[in-house]
Structure formats: structure tokens, C-alpha cells
Copies of this chain bind each other. A is one copy, B any other.
Amino acid sequence: MSLLVYGTVALDNVKTPSGSRRDLLGGSAAHFAMSARLFTKVHLTAVIGRDFPKRHIRFLRAKGIDLASLEQGPGKTFRWDGEYKQNDMNTALTLATELGVLVGCDPFVAHQHRNIPHVFLANIDPDMQMGLIHMMRRPRLIGLDSMNLWIAHKRESLLKLMKKVDLFVANDGETRALTQEANLIKAAKLLRKYGPELIVVKKGEHGVVFYSDSFMFAFPAYPVEKVIDPTGAGDTFAGGLMGYLCRAGRLNRSALKQAVIYATTLASFNVEGFGLSRTGRLTLSEVNRRMRAFQSYISFR
């Protein structure tokens, strides 16, 4: 079954202790798609500017990602400049953001994509995410990611949106900011009350907590020593999660556990290279190999 992702496709300038890169292909939808493509057909919905390099288009197409809903608008592509410091590779410092073509831009979904049953709203303005939901005919599973910017400035829009989605993915900082609760277990329960039945709280190097009414579980992160560039790790995680669930066609406990373990494994690859350089050349058999090592790492026997 196929999967539609809506979010940003960006040009990133990134500086980390390992070096710096300019004009990287980035954005929430691009990172998500590069991960989800390993499990299912991905239709990417986003807007790019006139300046968007053709090589990035060719790269996405070569990875099997459908770009029929990728719109080119007047203006410049969304840009993000960020930096990570040695002593806190979990936190991105935003140096500059240029919205460009994103300003005043309504979501666009090609006609033939409006029946897609699995939808992921990757990080972008929650009003635009809501607009996307209204364009879809009968989504069976809707996932949502957001960020501190929207929690702070568009809280009401985000809360409205949360009532419409099934699965909510947030990191620990976002979870605490949204719920005003320091204890993450209590906070996850509060998120559930906001609407989504499935709550995934990502804690970076500390792993993940999953919460639903019927069960909870938690896993540590895959032990990565070589963190080159964490940009997009959260989107890569979400891509693995939704991609696997879409392929599995089930939402029971065991499918959700497998999905979270795939998501964690994929995120561990993402941080090992700048931008999409590592996930772009991943194969599912490589992922499965690391996943077996990870399962042995977290098994209690």
C-alpha cells in the first residue's frame, strides 16, 4: 500500500564538528521519503522554488520516490542554516531560515494521489497540514510530526490538528513544551488525550517511548558513536515507522514494535552522514543486518 508524505523539501547549509556542507537536499518530507521508500511506494508532496537544483530532482526520482505532487512555485526554495556543537549533538542551533516559496503557499496534491490511504504530515505549518488533510478523500492512517516553533506560535492550530490524526510523533522537548509536564510517561498520556491514539516520544540518544490505551513500550537508541550530522534524524525515524506500518498493513502491538525498531535503526544510519548521503544509499538488507544487531543489543535474554 502506498504512502503520501507532505512537508518541506529544502536546501540546507549545515555545520557540525565533522565539517560543513552547503545546498544539501533536506527538509522534513525529503528525509521522511528517503527512509519510507525502503518499505513502500512514497508520493512526496511539497513545494520547491525556481532555484531548486535539477540534480536533487534526479536523485529523488532515482530512489523511486514519486514526485507527481511536487510543485514548483514562484520564488526561492525553503532554506535552513543550522549548526550542531560537539557537546550537544542532540540540539540543532538554527542560524537562519528563509521561507521563500513556502509563504502563503497552499498544499497541492495531484488528483490521482487523493485516495492514498496512508498519510504523513511531516513538519511544516500546522494550518498547511490541516489543509492537506482536507484534500485527502479517505485516509485510513494519518501520522503527524511538528516542532517547537508551532507549539509556541500556533498551539491552537496544532491542537485542532491533533484531533484529526491517529499517530503523533514528537521529541522529548516538544512533548514537554506541548503538555507542560516534565515526566515523559505522564506527558505521553496527556498527548493521547489531545486526540491521537498512538503516541511516539523520541528521546534522541536515549531512545523511544510508545504509548497507547492498550499498551506501552520503550526501546533504547541504537548505539551510534560516529554522529556526523543529525539533521533529519526525526524525519528518517518517522519514515521508517510509517513505511513499515504501511507495508505491514496492521497496527497491533507486534507491528508497532517492529515499526519503532525499524525507525530507530534507520535514524541511526541517518546521523552517520551529511544530509541524505547515508540514507540515500541504504538498502533494506543493510537495514535488516543492523536491525538484527540492535535486537540482540536490546534483548533481555
Contact = CB atoms under 8 A, between A and B. Distances in A.
B298 A218 contact: yes
Contacts of A218: 207, 220-221, 223, 297-298
A224 interface: yes
Q: Which 8 A-B pairs have the closest CB atoms?
A: A218-B220, A206-B206, A185-B223, A87-B182, A185-B225, A186-B225, A217-B297, A257-B300
Nearest to A183: B225
A87 B217 CA distance: 23
Given A217-B298, A218-B223, 10 more contacts: A183-B225, A183-B227, A185-B225, A206-B206, A207-B220, A217-B297, A217-B299, A218-B220, A258-B300, A299-B299
28 contacts: A88-B182, A183-B225, A183-B227, A184-B205, A185-B224, A186-B225, A203-B206, A206-B207, A207-B207, A207-B220, A209-B220, A216-B223, A216-B297, A217-B297, A217-B298, A218-B221, A218-B223, A218-B297, A218-B298, A219-B220, A219-B298, A254-B301, A257-B299, A257-B300, A257-B301, A258-B300, A295-B300, A298-B298
Given A206-B203, A300-B257, A300-B261, A89 B220 contact: no
Interface in A195-228: 203, 205-207, 209, 216-221, 223-225, 227
A218 B261 CA distance: 14
Interface in A210-255: 216-221, 223-225, 227, 254
A86 interface: yes
A210 to B, nearest CB: 10
A182, A225, A258 — most chain B CB neighbours (10 Å): A182
